[in-house]
Structure 1
Amino acid sequence: MQARLLLEDGTLFTGKAFGSEGESTGEVVFNTGITGYQEVLSDPSYCGQIVTMTYPLIGNYGITRDDFEAIRPYVHGFVVREHEEIPSNWRAQYTLDSLLKEYGILGISEVDTRMLTRILRHHGTMKGIITTSNKPVEELKEQLNAMELMRDQVSRVSTNSRYACPGPGETVVVVDFGSKSGIVRDLSKRGCNIVVVPHDTTAEQIRRIHPDGIMLSNGPGDPKDVPHAVKMIQDLLGEYPIFGICLGHQLFALACGADTSKLKFGHRGGNHPVKDLLTNRCYITSQNHGYTVLEDSIEGTELEVTHINNNDGTIEGLKHKQHAAFSVQYHPEAAPGPFDSSYLFDRFLDMIRAFKQEQPAVPQQAKMLAAAKSNSAENKGELAYAEK
């Protein structure tokens, strides 16, 4: 079956359909990774986007449930040069085509993805539509002109309720703005007692968990669409060690008075070089973001730049000068990507332990009483028990 991809500038690509049939719109972006198409598809940060893979052969090792980074994909379309219909991998459980069909995602192959990527690099990301219909191009153009890019994607991909991944170590609250499962995996490897909470969890609700540290996860979209998270971070900054990743990094910057803006075509792939300004070492990193923290906006804040992107000089890492808090724009949990930056999770835990040593000891009974009193009337039983 034939499929077409139309960009808002009028560029039309004709190819072969795979996955679901019908029509889908979204922001067209590109990913430069050589492997990891399954992790890309299941990364919530791609919510509402049509993803183009620059590597030409996609689908050759199939799909394995264990490699998902979220419960389901949120992409709106998938563009590849060559789609392999018969995977070769002993772990493969089914094909890329069947995955896209399962979740109603349109795919288009036999597209000149090199040409498409050059267009996006020159003009920037743009709106696009994939269709298997026979609609006239003029009608598709009208649809694109009337189309509004998706906003507030975080509420679509965040967990709706709190859940725990128990462990014997430090208690870490992960605020889920569209978190990849790799974040929980890396914390679990280090023995953390993890509590994952929805994106709109308040500072007071987090305090009741009595965490040792707070992780601000990755997620999709414009950080300015999540103002409640900025307020939460401002309220908790200095009370607990904080580590922000990707969207969490941008929200941390906004909470500290910096500003963000949209990049021309973003950074997406598992091969982006980042320089650590402290050590002058260059790390190869996994990235997926369309926004950046503006360098000029750092002046006058309590933030210090710790990492920069070697390709375009944009900010890739920040730390607070006074409080135990830092962030990175890239993904230390990788998936897909190199593991160069996994040390940042160890740095976060070292920060937590150092912070705890600096705090005055609080008896366990006092902790129980404080926790009970901070709750509402629904916790009267717990309060009575704590006071007893």
Structure 2
Amino acid sequence: MLVLEDGRRFEGRAYGARGRTLGEAVFATGMTGYQETLTDPSYAGQIVMMTAPHIGNTGMNDEDMESARIWVAGFIVRDPSRVVSNFRSQRSLDDDLAEAGIVGISGIDTRAVTRHLRSAGAMRSGIFSGEDASLTAGEQLDLVRAAAEMTGRNLSGTVSTQEPYTLAAEGERVGSVAVLDLGVKTSTLRYLAQRGFDVHVVPQSITAEEVLAMAPDALFFSNGPGDPGASDRHVDLLRTTLRAGLPYFGICFGNQLLGRALGFGTYKLPFGHRGINQPVLDKATGRVEITSHNHGFAVDAPIEGVSDSSEGFGRVEVSHYDLNDNVVEGLNCLDIRAFSVQYHPESAAGPHDANYLFDRFRDMVLASKETEV
């Protein structure tokens, strides 16, 4: 049974592990890429529903994991594949969910649930199967309404590495980058290494002084789950490193934290952007990119013109925005070396239209090093 906090109930079949799970119900519109979705740490604390009706036919493998484990709180599908048919498959989706203890549900009208979430917004929810399915409707609803809301939650400590580690640069070395792991994806680290960076991944608990003591050539903030409004310490860290002149690139959560560091606010979207086909305009080129998204919060900044940072970082402009709803999808600082995007240029899954942003970051770091010389 899927139970939403407004009392709506949807009956289906148990899928994956049996038991009870609670989280924020959201929908992802990608036709493919369910493995990357499941293993993206940004989905921690969320019960993810796939809008594509047929899920699981390509199974699961070790190559497409975006982290070491499945992070979703629960999984909702309409028609799970009964047969795995792909030459790269190593396991079935159902088996991986069960082994990871991820409670799921199948056989429900995902289109009806999606329409409801679009009108009512993302909300707390629960999946109840096995013995927990025998709880009364009132007991299940009470559990859902007692669960934590996403607003105000700081989840970076849940998903971040506890120990630092390093990926060596591939090809000609450009420099070193300190990556603050707020829920970083494997593909992001790989793209940075391919651009010639020694990638030093550090825990989210690191201090600004410790970052500067590493003497990296640049700083990168990753994607991650939770409310950017609850990450004051990371905002302070970023302000300190920006004032020290460290070049910066941020993705997703890293875009929201740059926005806050510059003096902008953030807010929760009604139902978020989660999918691999979001049209975004790059204002610098006039090019429309089809991009991969996974965010429930956004930066509150004017999409036209140039603003002055209230924190003393000079001029700032919105560099990208979503053509569906005008949500801010990128920030560019004109007087310091810092920029960010809300979406995922590493794709995984999704189109590769925005891979050039990693090249832009490399070029910015090289220009910074030339200036120092």
Bin of the TM-score, shorter chain as denominator length = over 0.9
**TM superposition shift of 1:303:** 1.7
The within-5 A match list for 1:157-168 is: 157-167=159-169, 168=173
* Residue 342, structure 1, aligned to residue 355, structure 2: yes
Mapping of residues 43-192 of structure 1, within 5 Å: 43-132=40-129, 133-149=133-149, 151-167=153-169, 168-192=173-197
Instruction: From the CA coordinates, give the structure whose radius of gyration is larger.
Output: 1
User: Offset of 1:15 from its aligned partner?
Assistant: 0.8
TM-score where L is the length of structure 1: 0.90
For 2:235, which of 220, 230, 242 is the aligned residue?
A: 230
Partner amino acid, structure 2, of 1:84: S
TM-score by length of 2: 0.93
Matches within 5 A, 1:313-328: 313-328=326-341
Instruction: Name the counterpart of 1:354.
Output: 367
Could you tell me how far 1:10 is from its partner in structure 2?
Answer: 1.2
AA aligned to 1:147 is A
The one-letter amino acid of 2:10's match is F
What is the match of residue 223 of structure 2? Answer: 218
CA contact (8 A) 1:270 1:285 kept: yes
1:157 touches 1:178 (CA, 8 Å); kept in 2? yes
Is the 1:295–1:314 Cα contact (8 Å) retained in structure 2? no
**Number of the residue aligned with 1:285:** 291
In the alignment, structure 1 residue 244 sits paired with structure 2 residue 250: yes
Taking the aligned partners of 2:168 and 2:110, their CA distance within structure 1 comes to 44
Task: Tell me the SS of whatever aligns to 1:341.
Answer: coil
Q: Is the 8 A contact 1:85 1:95 kept in 2?
A: no
Q: Tell me if the contact between 1:266 and 1:290 (Cα under 8 Å) persists in the aligned partners.
A: yes
Which residue, 251, 259, 262 being the options, matches 2:265?
259
Deviations 1:58-77 (A, max 9, x none): 00000001110011111111
The percent of aligned pairs where both chains have the same amino acid is: 46
How far 1:201 moved relative to its partner? 1.2
Q: Secondary structure of the residue that 1:25 maps to in structure 2?
A: strand
Tell me how many residue pairs correspond in the alignment.
Answer: 357
Cross-structure match for 1:204:
209
Q: Which amino acid aligns with 2:51?
A: T
Partner Cα distance (1:308, 1:278) in 2: 11
Indicate if the aligned counterparts of 2:302 and 2:318 stay in contact, CA closer than 8 A: no
CA RMSD after TM alignment:
1.3
CA distance in structure 2 between the partners assigned to 1:97 and 1:229 by the alignment: 37
SS of the equivalent of 1:66 reads coil
Distance (whole Å) between structure 1 residues aligned to residue 106 and residue 231 of structure 2: 35
Distance in 1 between residues matched to 2:308 and 2:167, nearest whole Å: 39
Q: C-alpha deviations, 1:323-362, integer Å up to 9, x for none?
A: 0000000000010100000000000000000111111x4x
Match of 1:370 in 2: none
Gaps of 5+ in 2: 310-314
Q: Give the C-alpha shift of residue 171 in structure 1.
A: 0.6
